[in-house]
Amino acid sequence: MSLLVASVGFGLITASVLAIAAVGFTLQFAVTDVLNLAFAAVMTAGAYTAYAVNAAGMPIWLGTLAAMAACAVLSVLLNYLVYAPFQRRGAAPITLVIVSLGMALIVEFSVAAVTGGVGVSYRMSQGSTIRLGGLVLTTAQLAIIGISLVVMVAVHALLRYTRLGKAMRATAANRMLARNCGIRASRVIGLTWALTGALCGLAGTVFAIDVGTFTATSTDIFLILILAAVFLGGPGHAYGAMLGALVIGLATEVSAVYIPADYKYVVAFVILLGMLAVRPAGLLGART
């Protein structure tokens, strides 16, 4: 029983990390029309940026900010130099997916080439242990959950109440129409890349804090969790991604109680393939 409760705790932490990444990924896809498979690689770049700052003696929160800035810049550059030109030329969606895979290789293995294949960890305190009912969490883990909640509320507020958020939703729904209504779509798209890039950097850092030790290829599997969460909720739906992250996070960690931990990703995988087969538009997506 206590094992189950503890696994729920782990599930919540995984879900928190996942939610930040999945919301970033899904917003990116919704507004920019790029199914950016380089997302997890950019996360890695962010995690290492934070590591570099942290290793230079700065606190980890400063490293996190640096990671967010670096990933925002990297994402904007990817769009400006690669994705946007392909889109302007009218490339098919599948071409962009292949290109994004190429970008994933470039980013991930550039990081690997620079850092070597050795695993690294941040120098930070995990904080004191806190007991909540049956849950045992460290301060760092609580902070991850807290950060994630703040991000979710902030994304909600952005989409709901700000001009930029409304412009993003309009652009996602119909780019041409948004343009004709006086929305500067290319600027909205650029800002979306910066914003989702920052989310990506944040996700990379909290992912690295969560797993403890990481290498350049640590996020390969995490990309699958992101995709599972995104497709579960419906590609392009921010709230769907939040829901998907919660379900996938809990499902993978709780299932680890009953099946060997090595296979916990199978649950996410089965959910993803099932959704693709039965309801590609996702739980919150429109039925087609």
Partner 1 sequence: MFYLIILLVYAAVDAMACLGLSQQFGVAGVTNFGFIIFQAAGAYVAAVLALPPDTANGGFQTYVGGFGLPFPLPWIGAAAAGGLLALPFTFLVGRRLRGDFAAVGLLVTAVLLNVLVTDYRPLFNGDAGVALVPAPLRQGMFVTTSNAYQVGYAVGGLALAAVIWWLVHRITESPYGRTLRAMRDNDKVADSLGKNLVALRTGALVTGGAIAGLSGAVLVSFIGVWSPAAWSYAETIVLFTAVIIGGMGNHAGAVLGAVLVPVGFEEITRFISNSNPSLPPNLLPSLQWVAIGVLIAVFLWVRPQGILPERKRVIPRRPWPPWRALPAAAAGRGAGPAAGPAAALAVAGTAAAAAPGGSGGPAAGREPGRPAGPAAGPAAGGFPRPARRHPRPEPVRDILRTEGVSKEFGGVHAVAGVSLSVRRGTLTGLIGPNGAGKSTLLSLLAGTERASSGRIFYQGAEITHLPAYRRARLGLVRTFQLASEFKRLTVLENLLSAVPGHRGDSFLGALAGRWYWRADEAAAIERARGLLARFGLERHANDYAGELSGGQRRLVEIMRALMSEPDMLLLDEPMAGVHPELARRIGEGLRELCREGMTILMVEHELAIMDEFCDPVIVMAEGAVLAEGTMAQLRGRAEVVEAYLVG
Contact footprint for partner 1 (CB under 8 A): 35, 37, 82, 85-86, 91, 93-99, 101-106, 108-110, 112-113, 116-117, 216, 220-221, 223-224, 227-228, 231, 235, 260, 262-263, 265-266, 269, 272-273, 276-277, 280, 286, 288
Q: Which is nearer to partner 1, 100 or 148 (CB)?
A: 100
Q: Read out DSSP for 126-142?
A: ---EEEETTEEEEHHHH
- Minimum CB distance to partner 1, residue 279 (Å): 10
Which token pair is 83? 């994705």
Q: Which is nearer to partner 1, 105 or 150 (CB)?
A: 105
Residue written as tokens 């996360």?
A: 43
Three-state helix/strand/coil letters over 145-174: HHHHHHHHHHHHHHHHHCHHHHHHHHHHHC
Residues β-bridged to residue 137: 130
Which token pair is 245? 């992250």
- Minimum CB distance to partner 1, residue 218 (Å): 13
Beta strands in 57-205 (DSSP E): 129-132, 135-138
The residue type at 238: A
Element (H, E) at 93: helix 93-115
Cα gap 261→161, rounded to integer Å: 42
- Minimum CB distance to partner 1, residue 60 (Å): 26
Q: Are 122 and 143 in contact (CB under 8 A)?
A: no
Q: Which is nearer to partner 1, 64 or 108 (CB)?
A: 108
Q: Are 44 and 218 in contact (CB under 8 A)?
A: yes
Cα gap 115→206, rounded to integer Å: 19
Q: Which is nearer to partner 1, 143 or 227 (CB)?
A: 227
Q: Which is nearer to partner 1, 163 or 287 (CB)?
A: 287
- Minimum CB distance to partner 1, residue 59 (Å): 30
Q: Are 225 and 268 in contact (CB under 8 A)?
A: yes
- Minimum CB distance to partner 1, residue 263 (Å): 7
214 by DSSP, 3-state: which? strand
Q: Which is nearer to partner 1, 36 or 54 (CB)?
A: 36
Question: Which is nearest to 233 in space by CA: 85, 19, 33?
Answer: 19
Q: Which is nearer to partner 1, 70 or 111 (CB)?
A: 111
- Minimum CB distance to partner 1, residue 260 (Å): 8
Element (H, E) at 101: helix 93-115
- Minimum CB distance to partner 1, residue 117 (Å): 4
